[in-house]
Chain A
Amino acid sequence: MSFLRAFKYRRKDTVVHRLDPRSKFLLSVVLMMVSIMFADIRVLLVLISGQLILLFLAKSLGEWFSSLRGLVFFFAVIFITQLLFGGTFYTGIVLSLRLVALSSSMSWFFLSSTPEDIGRAMSVAGLPIELTFSFTMAIRFIPVIYDEFQSIYDTQRSRGLELEKGGFRDRIRNLMPILIPLLVGTIRRTYEIADAMEVRAFGASPKRTTYKPLKLKSGDYIVCIASAILVVSALALKMVYGVE
């Protein structure tokens, strides 16, 4: 899934990375809305150019380009369905551009925000700490559990397990030697993590503090103002000028 690469956080020190996750999230949502609102090729092109600037500032154009290759399959699907169901080549292009705009709106946000920042933004937004913490932890432990899965899979293959062998039923049954150890291991891990959290007083105080409180800086105000302008001008284009 190479196009997922455009959503994976990479530690970099750029203007965009330093922004507050809340303002980034706001702009990201606005960009998504605008990409859905318009079917005008000019608007979409302007939008994409704007996003390219953001990605450029985040020094992440490389990741974005390599993810485009992953989108080729979706472009193909779009064109084929358009041509089959009465669309035109033009609508195919519009829809493809919209897809690019939509995915870029999210990609620069995820590329430049740590899962932790996202979690922090979630808790500032009023979500309970248990929920936001589960979110960041899930992301933190995905690679660890993946490694465990790989180790289990390798072990069972070395005992002659062949997943591809047999009919549908056999294949389901073949998964058990992998799923059971993985499940047992994950449950055990959950207990260990819970212990480790508890001995560091998790849940001790309802008024948990944050070491690095989120602070809006001048850049964030610019982003917020830009988002507002974007919303207003999008609405104006749509309603006053009647752009599709």
Chain B
Amino acid sequence: MTAVKLRKLCFRYAGSEKQALTNIDLTIEEGESVLITGPSGCGKSTLARVLMGLIPHSYPGELEGEAYVFDMDVKNTPVSRIATRCGIVFQNPDNQLFTFSVEDDVAFGPENLALPPDEIGRRVDEALRLVGIEHLRHSSPNNLSGGEQQKAAIASILSMKPSLLIFDEPTSMLDPSSSASLIERIFELKRSLDEAGGKTTVIIVEHRIDLLLKHLSRIIVISEGRVVLDGEPLRVLEESFRRGIPINIPPMLQIYFRVKDRCGLEKPPTTVRELICMLGGSVSRDG
């Protein structure tokens, strides 16, 4: 099934002269792990809002073209309906938890859906387990670190049982070790959901690429509201490098792209040592 289908999508925020999104054509199939990246202000967060239906329902503006999420037309489907198939975790960990215990926050969504209490209980247990934060069940969000808050926010989305998970700059307020742990957790989560027979689609909107690269099946680069590149991760990064699109290409690849042709490297190194070995190897092979 197709998770996301956008056709000639344009959006302009009310009161702004500039188009935030221009002619976006995009299809994302179920089960993909997609990174949407691009310079700040390129429109990538706006795109995430469209996928959740927050645009056009909560943000006034001009929306043209078509946007479907699991065959639901976002223009006339209420956000609360979309929310049962599609969940989003935002950037700021502080503003996504509203109650005084993680457990209550995880229960918040299902409560709104008016599910029976025992079903809510099952969902809460499962969501906490999947994110690995059972031990934080009774903690107050006020006392959690940013990384823990983000994990709680993920759990509170999982209890809605979405099959498309969107992350809008989930690590931008976290330090390196919490970021790494969060990213690992996200993809572990996808694996265990898939093993249980689901087909989870992950869309991450981020500047950071290094932590994500090994998990991705596809990268989409947006610049000034348009999709400028879309495809297999390494190819997209190399093309961005050639065209000088300012995205955070990991340092290793920065060097790899510069030397690969002249040194005849065939595949990118994963560690610095490998890079040096490859360079040395290419040298010794030549000599």
Contacts and interface: CB of A to CB of B under 8 A. Distances in A.
Given A140-B100, A193-B98, A200-B83, A207 B120 contact: no
A200 B142 contact: no
A116 B116 contact: no
Contacts of B124: 211
Interface residues of B, number: 45
Interface string B100-140: 11011001111111111100110010000000000000001
Interface of A: 11, 114-116, 133, 136-137, 140, 143-144, 189, 192-205, 207-213
B112 A211 contact: no
Contacts of A116: 99-101, 104
Contacts of A136: 98-100
B80 interface: yes
Interface in B217-275: none
Contacts, number: 109
Contact of B90 (A114, A196, A203): A196
B156 interface: yes
A204 B108 CA distance: 12
Contact of A195 (B58, B84, B100, B160): B58
Interface string B17-35: 0000000000000000000
List the 7 shortest-distance A-B pairs measured between CB atoms, nearest first: A204-B80, A200-B109, A211-B107, A201-B80, A205-B114, A192-B95, A201-B112
Contacts of A201: 79-80, 83-84, 109, 112-113, 160
B98 A208 contact: no
Contact of A140 (B52, B90, B99): B99
Nearest to B118: A211
24 contacts: A114-B100, A116-B101, A137-B98, A140-B100, A192-B96, A193-B96, A193-B98, A195-B49, A195-B58, A196-B153, A197-B98, A199-B79, A199-B83, A200-B156, A201-B84, A201-B113, A201-B160, A203-B112, A204-B80, A204-B114, A211-B107, A211-B111, A211-B120, A212-B117
A17 to B, nearest CB: 13
A137 B108 CA distance: 13
A209 to B, nearest CB: 5
B50 interface: no
